[in-house]
Every structure is written in C-alpha cells, then in structure tokens.
C-alpha cells in the first residue's frame, strides 16, 4: 500500500489525534490504591507520547505510590506531598505542575471512556472550558444514574451554578489561560471545580457537552454522592457563596 493510500485509509479521528495539541491531565489522589491503576490505564490509552499525567499524591498512607510507579509509563509525573494539603490545595498543586496548554482534571477512582480526550479537545476550539456528561456508577460499575447532567440539570450560568454547582471536576477540561485568573484558589471556597467553572465564565464561553464520556464512581470512600448533595448548613452554604462572589469580583476586576 502506498503512503497516499495509507493516509486515505486513516479515519478523521486518527488524523486529528496525530495533530492535536498536547494535553496535561491533573490527577489529585489520596489513598487511592484500589482504583487508581484502572483509572490511569483508561487515561493513558487515550494519550499520545507528548501528553502528560501529573499525579499529585496527598501524603497517602497506603500503596498508592507503588501502584502508580508499577505502571512504568514515562508520561506519568508523580509528586508526593510531605503532609496532607486537602483536596483543593492538592489539585492546585497538580495544576501548578501542568506544562501544556490544554488541561484536564481527573479523579483517582473513575474510568474515562474511549474518545473522551479527543472529543473534549475538539470542543475546546470554541470555548475556554468544556464540561462533559458522565454516568454515575457504584464501586462495581453498576449504573446509579445514567446521566449526571440529567440528575442535576447541568448547564452553564454563573447564578445557576452559584445556587447549585454542576461543574464536576472529573469532567472538566480547559485552556491554560484560565489559570492566570483562577490561581491561587481563594481560601475557604468550598471546592476547586466550582471556583474554576465560575472563573471560566468570566473569561469566555463554557460548553456543557451532553455526551457521557466517563464513569463517575461513587463508593464508600468517595468524598460525595452522585447527586452532589451538601451536608453543610444553609448558613454555611450562604457564606461560601458570598466568598465566591467576592473573590470573583476581585479577580474579574484585576483580570481585565
């Protein structure tokens, strides 16, 4: 087969993968030995040789580090904290290590479905941030909710997401320019994904992509349930929203 015939035989997706911009996947973990290899393999299968995964381990006390190192993949850059920073600061640290222009957030216990990276990279041509849908599953991957978007009514909008956050971190990808306004993450904001999503909306378009591109695993050790139900008091939630609004106004003003 001639080189022209080979090129013609390549699918459009194959050609786009060969020419797409490099991505950085930022994974924050803590005591993730049970699921992290499965998650990393589902990501690595979609990455090209010039992509990277930053794994920021928050001083795990289990075998997380050993499991990650056993994969022996030079696209993985492993960083281990000397002491626990908490989920927000650990993700912030992972983001600070990212080298590429296109950045994905990643949890330690989910599974990325084939085509997620390429589909979201294509959507980032028209947006600052893309949020994909996911299927909520239990520890054994049985479906709890077929669509996170349908479960929460996910869509963009600052006021809407201040009232009920639908920016799910493990489903987010964005351009690096967002970090210039978003970092450092203000103290006392409830979650990193909420802050990044709201900040992205002060910069440009945010697309909610109605395609299930990952399995969002909820289990006994997970930090939240599939419905993102808050257990905090209404007063605490109001305080968080006031802090978010104040921080957004300050960053927006200085970022212009």
Distances (CA, A) of 218 to 21, 34, 86, 136, 140: 32, 13, 19, 7, 10
Which of 252, 123, 125, 145 is closest to 200 using CA atoms?
Answer: 252
Report the number of distinct structural domains present in the chain: 1
The reply to whether 42 falls in a domain is yes
The reply to whether 252 falls in a domain is no
The reply to whether 213 falls in a domain is yes
CA dist., res. 135 & res. 214, Å (int)? 6
Q: For 46-95, how does the pLDDT look when each residue is reduced to its tens digit (9 = 90+)?
A: 999 999 999 999 999 999 999 999 999 999 999 999 999 999 999 999 99
Q: Which region among 105-119, 140-154, 228-242 has the lowest average model confidence (pLDDT)?
A: 228-242
Q: For 204-223, how does the pLDDT look when each residue is reduced to its tens digit (9 = 90+)?
A: 999 999 999 999 999 875 54
User: In the predicted model, what is the mean pLDDT of the chain?
Assistant: 88
The reply to whether 2 falls in a domain is no
* 231: three-class secondary structure by DSSP: coil
Mean pLDDT of 98-116: 98
CA dist., res. 135 & res. 146, Å (int)? 5
CB atoms within 10 A of CB 128: 18
Please say if the pLDDT value at position 249 is more than 70.
yes
């Amino acid at each position: 087969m001639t080189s022209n015939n080979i090129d013609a035989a390549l699918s459009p997706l194959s050609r786009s993968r060969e020419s797409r911009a490099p991505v950085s996947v930022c994974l924050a973990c803590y005591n993730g030995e049970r699921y992290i290899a499965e998650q990393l393999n589902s990501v690595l299968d979609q990455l090209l040789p010039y992509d990277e995964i930053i794994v920021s381990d928050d001083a795990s006390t289990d075998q997380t580090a050993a499991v990650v190192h056993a994969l022996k993949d030079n696209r993985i850059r492993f960083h281990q904290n000397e002491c626990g920073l908490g989920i927000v600061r650990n993700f912030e640290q992972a983001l600070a290590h990212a080298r590429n222009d296109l950045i994905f957030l990643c949890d330690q216990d989910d599974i990325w479905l084939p085509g997620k990276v390429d589909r979201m990279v294509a959507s980032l041509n028209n947006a600052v941030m893309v949020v994909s849908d996911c299927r909520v599953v239990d520890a054994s991957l049985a479906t709890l909710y077929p669509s996170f978007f349908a479960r929460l009514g996910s869509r963009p909008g600052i006021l809407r997401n201040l009232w009920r956050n639908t920016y799910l971190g493990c489903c987010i990808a964005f351009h690096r320019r967002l970090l210039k306004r978003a970092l450092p993450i203000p103290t006392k904001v409830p979650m990193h994904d909420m802050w990044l999503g709201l900040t992205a909306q002060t910069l440009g378009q945010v697309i909610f992509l109605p395609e299930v591109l990952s399995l969002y695993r909820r289990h006994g050790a997970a930090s939240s349930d599939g419905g993102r139900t808050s257990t905090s008091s209404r007063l605490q939630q109001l305080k968080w929203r006031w802090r978010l609004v104040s921080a957004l106004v300050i960053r927006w003003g200085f970022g212009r």
